[in-house]
Structure formats: structure tokens, C-alpha cells
A = this chain, B = another copy of it.
């Protein structure tokens, strides 16, 4: 596979029976292309669909009362997004394609039906949600407690790590695929200040930049500066009963 899909992601957490894998594959069988810059769902839209990203990249954001935009999450292939329609019946966040993308739309009833027939998959999907939550908590702590310098470092590492999950050949150099304004909207800074912090990271010889591409020069030090923790690392579902017994 070129990019991981939902079944691959879940398969990484948990050995899947053929039956379970087939059910997941069927869940994401439909394709819907979304052009770069296009909006897939708008905040507060009434909807009963959620999405698995198959390729490309998307961003989920909320608008605040004063018009500013908070990018809550970058969505990479294999991620499930819009899960809050399960509960709210409407979208809590706007979903925009950051690159040409393909999503699999999933009716919430489909997902419920899947989890009813395959309780282990329900647990696995819950696990993915829990990881999201842990990431969100970390980001909250970072926004509240760390400097602009640290947050910019953190977002660089985060994007690189997530790109690498889809393509292990990615090394220290990668295309960020974000404008400085988007970075700012993700970590609560103005574009101007993001620019200054990037320059500072360059001056400190932590990264290099050329033509939209970033090179991490000293990953250990950058990670220290960013107070970075990898939340997918500690996930352990091995205690769940194996596929046969389930």
C-alpha cells in the first residue's frame, strides 16, 4: 500500500481476523475526492456522515466568536474524522482539504452496525479516539504552558512524524505543506510570529529551510526544545482477547 487506510491503522493496534478486516474494508469502500482548498463539511452542518481519509491531507478547524480560526487537528491518511456526528448529529468542526484528497464517507448507522457485530473493532476504534484525546491534551498543555518557540518546534516534529507514518522513507527533510498562517492557526500564534520563530530555529541550527521544505538538523535537541512526546508509541491492546476467541 502507498498510504495506510483505516484497516491498516487498526491492524497495527490489533491482529485482525479475516472477517474483521473484510468488515473494515467494506466500511471504507466508497471514494469521494476533495480538491485542495475545498470544504468537505462545515461547522454546525447537520450531518450523519463521518469520514476516513484515504489519501491527501485535511484540516479540522473551529471558528471563534471573534472570527479567528483554531485548527484543532491535521488529518492524515488512515485517520477517522468527524466522529462527533455520532453524538451531536452535526459537525463540530469544519473540514477542509489541505491537499487534493480522497475520503471514504461512512454513515454513522454503518459504524454502529459494525461495532455491534465486531466488538473488538469497537474497542480498537475507541483506542484511536483515545489517542486523539491524549494528543489533544498534550496540545492543550502546550498552548497553555509553552513558549511560541517550543510550539513551533513541536508542530514541525508532529507533522514530520505523521508524514513518516505514511511513508517510512521520509527522513530529516520534508515538505511542510502548510502556510505560516496555518501553522499559526494551529498553535495560537500570528503568522508574523511564526515566521520569527522559524527564523530563530534556523539561527539556532535546529532546522534548515529551502523552498517550502524543512530539514531537521538536530532532532534530539529539537525534541527537547519542543517538550515532545509521541502518543502513539505507548498504545497496547495486546490484553484484548485474540480474534479467534472473540
Question: Is A133 touching B70 in the complex (CB atoms < 8 A)?
Answer: no
- Mark interface residues in A132-154 (1 if CB within 8 Å of B CB, else 0): 11101111110111100000000
Q: A83–B145 Cα gap in the complex (Å)?
A: 24
How far is it, in angstroms, between the C-alpha of A62 and the C-alpha of B235 when the chains are bound? 18
Q: Within 8 Å CB of A240, what residues of B? A: 112
A220 at the interface (CB under 8 A from B): no
A134 and B144 alpha carbons, distance in the complex (Å): 17
Binary flags per residue of A184-198, CB closer than 8 Å to B gives 1, else 0: 000110000000000
Contacting B at CB under 8 A, from A169-183, are: none
Residues of chain B with a CB closer than 8 A to A145's CB: 64, 66, 68, 70, 188
Question: Which one of A23-31, A84-92, A201-209 is at the interface?
Answer: A84-92
Mostly, the A contact residues are helix
Assuming A88-B234, A134-B84, is B123 touching A188 (CB within 8 A)?
Answer: no
Residue numbers in B under 8 Å from A84 (CB-CB): 130, 133-134
Contact of A72 with B by CB under 8 A: yes
A1 at the interface (CB under 8 A from B): no
A123 nearest CB neighbor, chain B only: B112
List, in ascending order, chain B residues with CB within 8 A of A109's CB.
239
On chain A, which size bracket covers the interface? 35 or more
Q: Which residues of B contact A131 (CB under 8 A)?
A: 87
Q: Which residues of chain A (89-122) have a CB below 8 Å from chain B?
A: 89-90, 92-93, 108-109, 112, 115-116, 119, 122
Bound Cα distance A72, B145 (Å): 12
Interface assignment of A127: CB less than 8 Å from any CB of chain B: yes
Interchain CB contact (< 8 A) of A227 among B66, B119, B235, B237: B66
How near does chain B come to A64, taking the closest CB pair, in angstroms?
5
4 closest cross-chain pairs (CB), A and B: A144-B188, A70-B141, A143-B143, A87-B130
